Each structure stands twice: as structure tokens, then as C-alpha cells.
């Protein structure tokens, strides 16, 4: 059975809401207890895509509050706390317990609580005489946000900037790597699997995370109470997943480019966050919509090109997709409503036959039973009509379709005609659209034409765009060219030494593989690599990848494993920000490839192209390539 992260995390949360008691097959506790739920902002974001208000009520939660809000005493009611293990949260819990706000306190931490904080909690409640109020303390290992069955985010913002900051010292980098490893460990505990780990070698963030995760899993497997015990000894690769770890510099372009598929477009243009978005309604005012697996239209169409989703002449030729277009669904709904009207005598052409009372009663019953389904279908159609209308307005205003096509052509051809380049930069589109397009031009072009680059910069300045991100990528690109040119010369080490001083600790991630940063392959580099790694066959391109198996004896040098593949389950993790384009590509891989049947994709955060460019711009400013350094406004989820 395929791993389903959303289902596993939801089960853990439901168990927590039921005071960590065993649940019946119906998914509820043996004894219904009314309780209060207290959470912090981070844990609210964990709950938001998984649990709705009606679900909370089903599990006996009558009230729910943020931990930092002032709350009144509620007698004789237990409180379930779900918070990160931080100093401020511990002190607030001690304060709540000392005031006896609730009958008992069931404390659930999103990750393992460090011993010093646990001691603070114990001494604080002891001093205030409230220690007996604390019923249980649990480490839940749930410090990640699951957005879809196979999609998660660690919600660790600005990791790309932090890892590539030229001023970052080793201690800073180690703290970031440890935080990422702790998040990944939570995902693996929730799934109950110990994967075989692969990543590019070369000392970059991916290798640092892979090595530390391997060690953390090894240490944990040695403990008597390890949470993977049920998995048993050496399982075959068809039962264990392969975890492939990359960092954003492995393929920078995919994080920046425009995309014309429904899900990436909704995320990029309308700002999908935690599976929710707000769009302008037809009659003015904002409408809030939820997009997740409970929406059948979203599930069926989110990976399609936008014209196929919204209807159009070309789509009508594609018969097998016809059932899932908005226009088709709308017509089907209208036909069904007419059918209901006819059955109940409400239609204009139907006559009520009093002699067939029993027959009409049956028709009426069938009609009443079908109404909720029709109403629900109408709501789904209205929702996606609203979304499609909002997208269409933005596409026309900004020529997003033209940017998408030109960027795709650039990546395939390795360049673009100068007149076409300048026309795009001086045509429709926001400042950010043009900046992203200009960066894609830099990444896709094999050799930089200096006068052309100057023209691009002038066009960006004319459009009022902040060129810091453009300058940063240009610098990295020129550095890569220098490294490639001196690959076999003694000057290479001098360049790397100089680069580390200028670009910080993580330069190796950028310089490890020029071909990946400048990938112009039609298939995404990540997808192509994962496909090869899951097959487990010898491949000169990927044989240098690190291979770590936490269940295997540690070899004296380098990585190793008794498990070589093939793998039916894969997990792909992107350090520094993932996106819906990569996620969609990896899901398509499972449809067309025979070996791997399920791929879970995760990242430190899920970023739009604009948010990643903002982080590149911040790095440019830190290197003195733009205006004054400003705090990043990136807010991936």
C-alpha cells in the first residue's frame, strides 16, 4: 500500500485530539470527552489544511484558542495543547497551569522537546504547585505542513537566503541544517519508515542534510524505544522508500519560470497558501476558496494546462478529458436540474399526473436525494468559474502565456532572438514578470553577450524593477563559467577559495554541477534524476551520488547499502524551496514509469517564482549588487 502522508498525519492529530487514547474503527474515542484546544501560530498552520471546524466538534473540541491570547478560566474541562517546544510557549503553559485555567493539561509538542525546556516545565509547575494539573507530555513529531497526500512543507522560511548568505558562519549553517534534519525526521517518524538516502556529493547542503539525517536515524535505531521498531530488520527496496535530497541550486530555473498548468498558475498568480486563496467575486468583494483533495474538480484537473481546464475550442477535440471541463460540468449540472424538475412536475413541459401518486412520490424522493449532490456540484463549478475568471484577467493583463512559452523555448534552444527578448521586456507584464524572464534568459543562455545583458538591464531599470536578483544570478553564472574554464588548471582552487570568501559557506552547492544550474533539458533535472535513482541500475551520471542506509552497518569510508533498488516508493526533498511545477512533474513520473509507483515531494517551504526571486534579490543586496539590504517578504508555506 502506497505511503500517504496526509492520512498518516491526520490520524496522529485525531489521536492527539482524543487525549492520545486508542480510537474505535469509526475514528472516534471510546469515551467522548469535551475539551479545549490551545495551539500556537505554527501548529495552527499544521492543522489548517487537515482539520476543519466540523472535524474538531466531531472529536469533542468545543473551543479553540491561540496560546498567546488572553483566555478565561474554564472549569472541569481538559485542555489539549499543541505547540512548538519554545521558551515562550513553556512559560505560557506554566502560567496557565498556575492559574488553573483548565481541569487538566495534555501537552503535545510538535517536535521532541529539548531536555532543558522539559526541566523548565517541571520546575515551573512544581514551584507554582500546579504539577498535578499536567496529565501527560507527548512528543508528536508533527513539525511539518501536509498540503496534499504526497506534498509537504517544513514551513522554514528563507532557508535559501540563509544557506547562501555570504556572511553566514559555520555555526549558522549547522543550525539551519539541524533544523531541516529535525523536520525531515518528523516526516519519517509519522510515516514509520527508514528510507535509503541518495543525494549529490560535493559537500553542499544536500550532503550535509543527508549525512546528519543518516546519523540521527542510526542513533535512534539503537535506542530500545525507537519509533521504527515495527518496520523490522532488513526490508527489500520494494518495501522501503528511497529518499532523494537536493538543494535549490541543483536546478534553479524551475523555481523561477512561469508555468501555464492550473495548480502552479493558481499558486503563482492568485497566491494559494495552505490550500486557501482569495479572489475577487463577480459582484465585488473578496471570496475565499479552499482547494484540496475534497474538491473533485481540483483533484482531476490541477495538473492540466489552463486552457484545457477553462474550456476552449481545442479542448473539445480531447474527448477523454471532456467530462472535467468547467463548461461541460456546468452543462451537465443544468441537464440534471432539468431532469429533477421534470420528475417533480416543476418543468415547463411536464404535467402533474394525480393518478400516479406513488410514482410521483418516488420521483420526488429521488429528486430530494439528488439535491445535495447537485448543490455541491454547483458550488464546485461556481468556485472554479470564479478562479478561472480571475486567472484569465491576470493572464491577459500580464501576457503570462507569452512569458511561459518564451521561457520554455529559451530553455530548449539555449537562447532567444534579441528582438524577441527586448520586445518581451518592453511589453505587457509586471516588473516581477519581466525580472523573472530576464533571469531565465541568463540561466538558459550558454554564453553571455555583454551588450545584450546591458540592454536587458536597461529595460529592467526602465520598467522600474529591482535588478539585485538579476545581478546576483549574473555573478553566479560568470563564476560558474570561470570554474568550468579552469576545471583542469591550478587556478581552479584559487577561484574556489576566492568564491568562498565572497559567496559564503554554501558556494560548493552552486559550483558542484554547472550543468544542473544551467539545465536546458526538456524534462526537469530532478525528475530525470529521481527516475534513474529509483531504477537502481548503474548510471555513470549518478553513480557518484552518495548512498546512505541507516539500517546497514556503517562502512569505514563513504556511504553504502545492501539495498540498491529498484524502489517502488520515493521521497524527494528540496532544500531552499520547492514548487508546484516540480511536484506535478514527479507525480506524472509515477503515471508513466513502471518502477516507482508513488512519490512524496517536500521542501523547506513551497515558493512561487516571485518569492524565490525576492530571496535571490536579498542575496544580491547582501553582496552589494543592488540597493540597501531589506528584510525578505517571502512567505512560502
CATH number for position 115: 3.40.50.2060
Question: Grid coordinates standing for 553?
Answer: 552497518
pTM: 0.86
Checking if the pLDDT of 498 tops 80, the result is no
Question: Is 133 in the same domain as 17?
Answer: yes
Give CA angle at 208 (625, 476), nearest 5°: 20
Assign 519 a pLDDT band (cuts: 50, 70, 90): very low
Quick check: is 274 in a domain?
A: no
| DSSP-based three-state secondary structure for 572 | strand
Assign 155 a pLDDT band (cuts: 50, 70, 90): very high
Checking if the pLDDT of 358 tops 60, the result is no
Quick check: is 637 in a domain?
A: no
Strand order in the sheet with 134-139: 61-66, 35-39, 79-83, 105-109, 134-139
Q: Where are the beta strands (DSSP E) in 529-589?
A: 546-548, 569-575
Note the pLDDT of residue 495. 41
Task: With residue 143 as reference, give the H or E element that holds it.
Answer: none
Assign 238 a pLDDT band (cuts: 50, 70, 90): very low
Question: Is 557 in the same domain as 450?
Answer: no
Tell me what the mean pLDDT of segment 462-490 comes to: 75
Between residues 487 and 41, the one the model is more confident about: 41
Between residues 364 and 226, the one the model is more confident about: 226
Q: Which of 142, 170, 196 is at the close of a domain? A: 142
Sign of the CA dihedral running 217, 222, 223, 229: positive
- Closest C-alpha to 177, from 144, 217, 210, 218: 210
Q: Are 626 and 620 in contact (CB under 8 A)?
A: yes
Note the pLDDT of residue 115. 96
Checking if the pLDDT of 74 tops 70, the result is yes
Note the pLDDT of residue 203. 84
Note the pLDDT of residue 311. 56
Task: Report the percent of the chain where pLDDT is more than 70.
Answer: 78
Quick check: is 311 in a domain?
A: no
Note the pLDDT of residue 349. 47
Tell me what the mean pLDDT of segment 557-561 comes to: 50
Structure confidence by residue, pLDDT tens digits, 40-68:
999 999 999 999 988 899 899 999 999 99
Task: With residue 536 as reference, give the H or E element that holds it.
Answer: none
Quick check: is 629 in a domain?
A: no
Note the pLDDT of residue 186. 97
Note the pLDDT of residue 504. 40
Structure confidence by residue, pLDDT tens digits, 577-593:
999 999 999 999 998 87
549-561 burial string, b = 16+ CB within 10 Å, else e? Answer: bbbbeeeeeebeb
Q: Are 40 and 65 in contact (CB under 8 A)?
A: no
Question: Is 473 in the same domain as 433?
Answer: yes
Checking if the pLDDT of 503 tops 50, the result is no
Cell 474505535 sits on residue: 24
Checking if the pLDDT of 512 tops 80, the result is no
Report the chain's mean pLDDT, rounded to a whole number.
82
| DSSP-based three-state secondary structure for 33 | coil
Note the pLDDT of residue 324. 41
Alpha-carbon distances of 267 from 277, 287, 323, 608, rounded to whole Å: 9, 16, 24, 7
Question: Is 93 in the same domain as 29?
Answer: yes
Question: Is 500 in the same domain as 549?
Answer: no
Q: Distance between the two ends of the chain, CA-based, in angstroms?
A: 28
Question: Is 551 in the same domain as 490?
Answer: no
Checking if the pLDDT of 81 tops 80, the result is yes
Q: Which of 142, 158, 175 is at the close of a domain? A: 142
Question: Is 114 in the same domain as 196?
Answer: no
Domains identified in the chain, total number: 3
Question: Is 13 in the same domain as 46?
Answer: yes
| DSSP-based three-state secondary structure for 227 | coil
Note the pLDDT of residue 312. 45
Question: Is 245 in the same domain as 203?
Answer: yes
Note the pLDDT of residue 597. 87
Checking if the pLDDT of 606 tops 60, the result is yes
For 23, list phi and psi in degrees, rounded to 5.
Answer: -105, 155
Checking if the pLDDT of 160 tops 50, the result is yes
Structure confidence by residue, pLDDT tens digits, 371-407:
666 677 778 878 888 888 888 889 999 999 999 999 9
Quick check: is 291 in a domain?
A: no
- Closest C-alpha to 619, from 249, 257, 246: 249
- Closest C-alpha to 565, from 262, 195, 95: 195
| 3-state SS track over 331-387 | HHHHHHHHHHHHHCCCCCCCCCCHHHHHHHHHHHHHHHHHHHHHHHHHHHHHHHHHH
Cα gap 4→597, rounded to integer Å: 12
| 3-state SS track over 25-59 | CCCCECCCCCEEEEECHHHHHHHCCCCCHHHHHHC
Question: Is 82 in the same domain as 23?
Answer: yes
Question: Is 553 in the same domain as 464?
Answer: no
Cα gap 378→334, rounded to integer Å: 9
Structure confidence by residue, pLDDT tens digits, 88-146:
999 999 999 999 999 999 999 999 999 999 999 999 999 999 999 999 999 999 999 99
Question: Grid coordinates standing for 279?
Answer: 479572489
Q: Which domain holds residue 36?
A: 5-142
Note the pLDDT of residue 281. 74
Between residues 36 and 228, the one the model is more confident about: 36
Question: Is 488 in the same domain as 611?
Answer: no
Assign 496 a pLDDT band (cuts: 50, 70, 90): very low
Tell me what the mean pLDDT of segment 165-187 comes to: 94
CATH of the domain at 539: 3.40.50.1910
Assign 360 a pLDDT band (cuts: 50, 70, 90): low
Cα gap 37→8, rounded to integer Å: 20
Structure confidence by residue, pLDDT tens digits, 286-337:
889 999 988 888 988 889 888 887 754 333 223 323 344 556 666 666 777 6
Quick check: is 409 in a domain?
A: yes
Quick check: is 50 in a domain?
A: yes
Q: Are 211 and 548 in contact (CB under 8 A)?
A: yes
Structure confidence by residue, pLDDT tens digits, 418-440:
999 999 999 999 999 999 999 99
- Closest C-alpha to 149, from 10, 323, 28, 35: 10
Quick check: is 461 in a domain?
A: yes
Q: Which of 452, 478, 507 is at the close of a domain? A: 507
Between residues 545 and 282, the one the model is more confident about: 545
For 108, list phi and psi in degrees, rounded to 5.
Answer: -125, 120
Cell 515495527 sits on residue: 230
- Closest C-alpha to 38, from 98, 84, 87, 86: 84
Amino acid at each position: 500500500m502506497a505511503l500517504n502522508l496526509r492520512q498518516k498525519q491526520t490520524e496522529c492529530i485525531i489521536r492527539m485530539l482524543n487525549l492520545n487514547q486508542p480510537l474505535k474503527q469509526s475514528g472516534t474515542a471510546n469515551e467522548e470527552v469535551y475539551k479545549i484546544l490551545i495551539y500556537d501560530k505554527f501548529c495552527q498552520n499544521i492543522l489548517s489544511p487537515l482539520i476543519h471546524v466540523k472535524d474538531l466538534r466531531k472529536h469533542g473540541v468545543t473551543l479553540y484558542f491561540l496560546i498567546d491570547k488572553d483566555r478565561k478560566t474554564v472549569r472541569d474541562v481538559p485542555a489539549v495543547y499543541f505547540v512548538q517546544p519554545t521558551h515562550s510557549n513553556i512559560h505560557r503553559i506554566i502560567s496557565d497551569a498556575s492559574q488553573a485555567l483548565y481541569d487538566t493539561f495534555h501537552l503535545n509538542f510538535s517536535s521532541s522537546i529539548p531536555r532543558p525546556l522539559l526541566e523548565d516545565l517541571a520546575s515551573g509547575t512544581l514551584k507554582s504547585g500546579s504539577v498535578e494539573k499536567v496529565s501527560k507530555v507527548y512528543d508528536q513529531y508533527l513539525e511539518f505542513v501536509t498540503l496534499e497526500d504526497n506534498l509537504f512543507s517544513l514551513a522554514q522560511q528563507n532557508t535559501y537566503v540563509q544557506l547562501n548568505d555570504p556572511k553566514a558562519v559555520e555555526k549558522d549553517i549547522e543550525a539551519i541544517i539541524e533544523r531541516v534534519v529535525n523536520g525531515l525526521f518528523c516526516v519519517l517518524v509519522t510515516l514509520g519508515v527508514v528510507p535509503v538516502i541518495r543525494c549529490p556529493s560535493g559537500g553542499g547542503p544536500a550532503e550535509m542534510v543527508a549525512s546528519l539525517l543518516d546519523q540521527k536515524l542510526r542513533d535512534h535505531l539503537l535506542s530500545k524505544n525507537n519509533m521504527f521498531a515495527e518496520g523490522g530488520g532488513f526490508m527489500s527496496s520494494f518495501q522501503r522508500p528511497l529518499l532523494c535530497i537536493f538543494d535549490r541550486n541543483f536546478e534553479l530555473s524551475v523555481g523561477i519560470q512561469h508555468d501555464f498548468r492550473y495548480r502552479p498558475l493558481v499558486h503563482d498568480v492568485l497566491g494559494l497558501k495552505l490550500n486557501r486563496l482569495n479572489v475577487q467575486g463577480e459582484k465585488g468583494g473578496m471570496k475565499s476558496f479552499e482547494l484540496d483533495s475534497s474538491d473533485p474538480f481540483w483533484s482531476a484537473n490541477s495538473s492540466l494546462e489552463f486552457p484545457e481546464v477553462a474550456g476552449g475550442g481545442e479542448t473539445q477535440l480531447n474527448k477523454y478529458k471532456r467530462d472535467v471541463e468547467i463548461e461541460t460540468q456546468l452543462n451537465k449540472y443544468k441537464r440534471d436540474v432539468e431532469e429533477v424538475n421534470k420528475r417533480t412536475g416543476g418543468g415547463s413541459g411536464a404535467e402533474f399526473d394525480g393518478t400516479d401518486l406513488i410514482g410521483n412520490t418516488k420521483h420526488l424522493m429521488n429528486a430530494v436525494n439528488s439535491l445535495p449532490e447537485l448543490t455541491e456540484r454547483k458550488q464546485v463549478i461556481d468556485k472554479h468559474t470564479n478562479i478561472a475568471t480571475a486567472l484569465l484577467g491576470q493572464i491577459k493583463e500580464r501576457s503570462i502565456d507569452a512569458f511561459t512559452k518564451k521561457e520554455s523555448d529559451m530553455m530548449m534552444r539555449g537562447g532567444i532572438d534579441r528582438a524577441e527578448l527586448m520586445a518581451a521586456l518592453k511589453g505587457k507584464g509586471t516588473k516581477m514578470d519581466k525580472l523573472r524572464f530576464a533571469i531565465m534568459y541568463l540561466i538558459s543562455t550558454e554564453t553571455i553577450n555583454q551588450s545584450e545583458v546591458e540592454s536587458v538591464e536597461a529595460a529592467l531599470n526602465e520598467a522600474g524593477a529591482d535588478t539585485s536578483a538579476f545581478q546576483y544570478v549574473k555573478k553566479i553564472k560568470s563564476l560558474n563559467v570561470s570554474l568550468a574554464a579552469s576545471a583542469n588548471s591550478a587556478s581552479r582552487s584559487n577561484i574556489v577559495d576566492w568564491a568562498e570568501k565572497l559567496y559564503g559557506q554554501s558556494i560548493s552547492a552552486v559550483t558542484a554541477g554547472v550543468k544542473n544550474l544551467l539545465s536546458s533539458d526538456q524534462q526537469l533535472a530532478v525528475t530525470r534524476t529521481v527516475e534513474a535513482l529509483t531504477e537502481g541500475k548503474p548510471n555513470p551520471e549518478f553513480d557518484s551520488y552518495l548512498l546512505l542506509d541507516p539500517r546497514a552497518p556503517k562502512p569505514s569510508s563513504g556511504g553504502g547499502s545492501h539495498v540498491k533498488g529498484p524502489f517502488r516508493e520515493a521521497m524527494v526533498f528540496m532544500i531552499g524551496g520547492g514548487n508546484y511545477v516540480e511536484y506535478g512533474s514527479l507525480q506524472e513520473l509515477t503515471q508513466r514509469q513502471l518502477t516507482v509507483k508513488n512519490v512524496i515531494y517536500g521542501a523547506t517551504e513551497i515558493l512561487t517564482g516571485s518569492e524565490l526571486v525576492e530571496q535571490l534579490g536579498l542575496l544580491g543586496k547582501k553582496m552589494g549588487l543592488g540597493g540597501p539590504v531589506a528584510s525578505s517578504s517571502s512567505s512560502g508555506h
